[in-house]
Amino acid sequence: MNMNNTLVAGLWAASTESKMRQIGLAFAGSMLMAISSKFQIPFYPVPLTMQTFVAIALGMTLGWKLGMATILLYLAEGAAGLPVFAGTPEKGIGITYLLGSTGGYLLGYAFAAAAAGYLAEKGWTRSLLKTAAAAFVGMVLIYAPGVLWLGSLFGWDKPILEWGLYPFVYGDLLKIALLTATFPLMWKFMDRKQR
C-alpha cells in the first residue's frame, strides 16, 4: 500500500503497514462516520451533518485502500443493524435502511474515500488548489450514485435534484472549503515539525 503522501503515513511512518494499526484506524474511522451522522448543524436551506466531510477526509488521511475499507466497514456495521446512520434507529436499520432513499449516497462515501485517498497518495492534499479539486471529486462521487439511486427509486418524473442535490450544495461547498484549508495547513505543520 503506497501511503507516503497521506497524513497517517506522515504521523506514523512505517508503522502504518502494521495490520493491527490498519484495523484500529478503520474501526476508529467507522466510529467517526457514525458520530458525524448523529449531529446536525443548523444551516441554510437544510441542516448539515459532517458525514460527507468525514468520508472524504478519511480517504485523504488514510489513503485509498484503507479509506475505502473504513467506509465499507461503516456500511457493514449499518447493514448488520447497528444504528450508525443518520436517523437510525428511528428511520429503520440494517439492509432496509441501506435500500432506502439514502442508499446511493452511502455507497458514494466509499467511492469518495477511494478517489480522495488516491489523489492524496499522489500528493494532491499538499496544495490548496489540488486539495479543493480532490474534495470536489469526492463530492461528485457521493452525489452521482446518490441522485441516480434516488431517481431509480422514486422515478425521474419527480423533482429528484430538488430533493437530493440542490439543498445540499451550499453546505458541501463549505465542507470543500474546510477540507481545502485543513489539509495543506496540516502538511505545513508536519513538515515544519520534521525539520
pLDDT tens series, the chain, 195 aa: 445 678 887 666 655 568 888 899 999 999 999 999 998 899 988 999 999 999 999 999 999 999 999 999 999 999 999 999 998 888 888 999 999 999 999 999 999 999 999 999 999 999 999 999 999 999 999 999 999 999 999 999 999 999 999 999 999 999 999 999 999 999 988 877 766
Distance CA 55, CA 191 (A): 25
Indicate the pTM of the whole model: 0.92
In a 10 Å sphere around its CB, with 0-12 CB exposed, 13-18 middle and 19+ buried, how is residue 151 labelled?
middle
- Which residues, other chains included, contact 42 with Cβ-Cβ below 8 Å and sequence gap of 6+? 48
Q: What's the pLDDT at 1?
A: 43
Closest CA to 112 of 175, 156, 47, 161: 175
Residue written as grid cell 495547513 = 185
CATH fold of 7-194 reads: Arp2/3 complex 21 kDa subunit ARPC3 (1.10.1760)
Tally Cβ neighbours within 10 Å of residue 147. Answer: 18
Return the percent helix, strand and coil in the chain, to nearest 5: 75, 0, 25
Closest CA to 99 of 65, 91, 155: 91
Distance CA 181, CA 175 (A): 10
The CA–CA distances, whole Å, from 191 to 46, 74, 184, 195 equal 38, 31, 10, 7
The CA–CA distances, whole Å, from 190 to 35, 57, 91 equal 27, 17, 42
Domain coordinates in residue numbering, the chain: 7-194
Q: What's the pLDDT at 4?
A: 62
Q: What's the pLDDT at 127?
A: 94
Q: What's the pLDDT at 190?
A: 82
